[in-house]
Amino acid sequence: MREGIHPAYGPVVFRDRAANYAFLTRSTMTSEKTIEWKDGRTYPVVDVEISDVSHPFYTGTARVLDTAGRVERFERRYGKKG
């Protein structure tokens, strides 16, 4: 790889404010805000709107949409082509 063209890749804490959950991983994202992690070190923290802990699909609270009914209603309204 060429030197000087890639962003810095290092440890970052991602924090889901809605679920009060945070996890440490490596990323190229940076932030001015920092947090002291469980190991006693300070890492940059990136606040996210949603993560696997608060997303309805992963938590099992997702609603199933009646897509077949919507398709049929669209075809009735605008007609089938082809």
pLDDT tens readout for residues 27-75: 999 899 999 999 999 999 999 887 777 766 656 665 666 666 777 778 8
Spatial separation of the C-alpha atoms in residues 69 and 80, rounded to whole Å: 15
Q: 7 Cβ partners below 8 Å, 6+ apart? A: 28
φ, ψ for residue 73, nearest 5 deg: -65, -40
Spatial separation of the C-alpha atoms in residues 48 and 16, rounded to whole Å: 5
pLDDT band with cut points at 50, 70 and 90 for residue 2: confident
Q: Please give the average per-residue pLDDT across 8-25, as a whole number.
A: 91
pTM more than 0.75: no
